[in-house]
Amino acid sequence: MQSKLVRWPRLLVAAISMLFAGVIYAWSVLKAPLGTEFGWTPSQLALNFTLTLCFFCIGGLIGSKLSKTASPKVALWVGAVLVAIGFIMASRLNGSVAMLYISYAGFAGLGIGITYNVVISSTNAWYPDRKGMCSGVMMMCFGLSSLILGKVADAMFASEAFGWRKTYMILGIVIAVIIAVCAFGVRMPEPGTTFPKPQAKGKQADEGFEPRDYTTSEALRRSSFWRFFVYSILTSAVGSVVISFARDLALSVGAAAALATTLVGVLSLCNGLGRIIGGFVFDLVGRRKTMIIANIVTIIAPLVVFASVTGKSLPLCIAGLCLTGISYGFSPTISSSFVGAFYGMKNFPSTYSIANMMLIPSSFASTIAGALLTKTGGYAAPFMMLIGFAVVALFINLSIRRP
């Protein structure tokens, strides 16, 4: 069976699923009415996002198991139900921050994690010849969700016809329905399906090894996996910290409040673009060169942002935020492509779900940076930390070899 005739619609279905699953990254918008109504502190709301990422990662592990024992379709239905429960429960909050953690972080986070892992692993299996492009398209949609759904939610919050409670309920139901419907188009290729051969023959030489399918336990016993894991933590931490500071950084260099808010959206747009650019670069020049390019951009981005703050330059700040978005966008695309290229697609769901656990430690970088900012009263210490992270990541990056 020639899969080339049927695989493009699967990528379209996956892209739609990811566009709605990416709602968890719209938390900066979704949290606004909760702080106002219940008086929850920024740290309490920030903890909810950290917990959401933790449950998101756990959901990825559950999704990999459900895909094997049942099917991708059943796994996605489970994810859809959990998302609906989470958002509907959140729409009925009565002031208990613990219930926020249980509903939004727990149920919705698990559901999104299941959806993410199942869609990525099932769809990537249809593109062994174009791993980077496939991952890039899906990751771009996941990243753009915060910009698109965030704006929709913000408009609904401001409308007297909706308000935040109805908005949460509608979001949960709509997202769950879309994931459940898209589940009919998400499946693994049939055994014996033939795919186009990879065009770029230089990639195997670039890696220096013949690819094969590793079990998850075999992958975890290799230093290459853990070097990549630490590299991913450090590079992702740079993006997550700058994103959390984005609006305040823009304001500090003289941007008007409206422009500062717009720049947060521009950063999200660049994040989405970085994901698809990373995918195409991966297919064009291979894993090693792509990771080096991404790492160099990750070093330059905080340097430019910090220079803009010290020099009070708005143009430099805009350039730095755009570079940060692009460098942050490279990370998930590289992660998905790296796991498939290094350890094969047979056990991709479980291996990738563990690799994705790097989101948990990287999410704490924002907390550390915030503490440094509070203690020192300036951005020097947080940005020295980020630049240090990016440089250390480059040395680890250069040390990654065959599995």
**DSSP assignment string, 258-277:** HHHHHHHHHHHHHHHHHHHH
The whole-number pLDDT of residue 209 equals 57
The whole-number pLDDT of residue 207 equals 57
Tokens at 318, concatenated: 């805009």
Using pLDDT thresholds of 50, 70 and 90, give the confidence band for residue 204. very low
Percent residues over pLDDT 70 in the chain? 95
The whole-number pLDDT of residue 4 equals 45
Lowest mean pLDDT among 100-109, 172-181, 253-262: 253-262
Q: Enter the pTM of the model.
A: 0.79
The whole-number pLDDT of residue 210 equals 61
Between CA 347 and CA 317 the distance in angstroms is 42
Nearest to 114 by CA among 69, 91, 83, 149: 83
Between CA 118 and CA 306 the distance in angstroms is 38
User: Averaging pLDDT over each range in 61-75, 244-258, 279-293, 366-380, which range is the top one?
Assistant: 61-75
The whole-number pLDDT of residue 149 equals 87
H, E, C per residue of 276-303: HHHHHHHHHHCHHHHHHHHHHHHHHHHH
Between CA 214 and CA 216 the distance in angstroms is 6
b vs e for 297-317, b when ≥16 Cβ sit within 10 Å of the residue's Cβ?
bbbbbbebbbebbeeebbebb
Q: Is 395 exposed, middle or buried (0-12, 13-18, 19+ CB in 10 A)?
A: exposed
Q: pLDDT (tens digit, 9 = 90+) per residue, 214-235?
A: 898 999 999 999 999 999 999 9
Given a contact cutoff of 8 angstroms between Cβ atoms, the answer to whether 178 and 20 are in contact is yes
Domains of the chain, start order? 3-185 (1.20.1250.20), 202-399 (1.20.1250.20)
Given a contact cutoff of 8 angstroms between Cβ atoms, the answer to whether 129 and 283 are in contact is no
Helix spans in 159-286 (H): 163-182, 202-207, 216-220, 223-252, 257-285
Using pLDDT thresholds of 50, 70 and 90, give the confidence band for residue 402. confident
**Mean predicted confidence (pLDDT) in 345-368:** 84
Using pLDDT thresholds of 50, 70 and 90, give the confidence band for residue 188. confident
**Mean predicted confidence (pLDDT) in 290-315:** 93
Q: Which residues make Cβ contacts (< 8 Å) with residue 155, sequence separation at least 6?
A: none
Q: Which residues make Cβ contacts (< 8 Å) with residue 83, sequence separation at least 6?
A: 107, 108, 111, 112, 115, 172, 175, 176, 179
Does residue 2 carry a pLDDT above 70?
A: no
Q: Which residue, chain included where needed, has tokens 């695989």? A: 7
The whole-number pLDDT of residue 201 equals 47
Using pLDDT thresholds of 50, 70 and 90, give the confidence band for residue 198. low
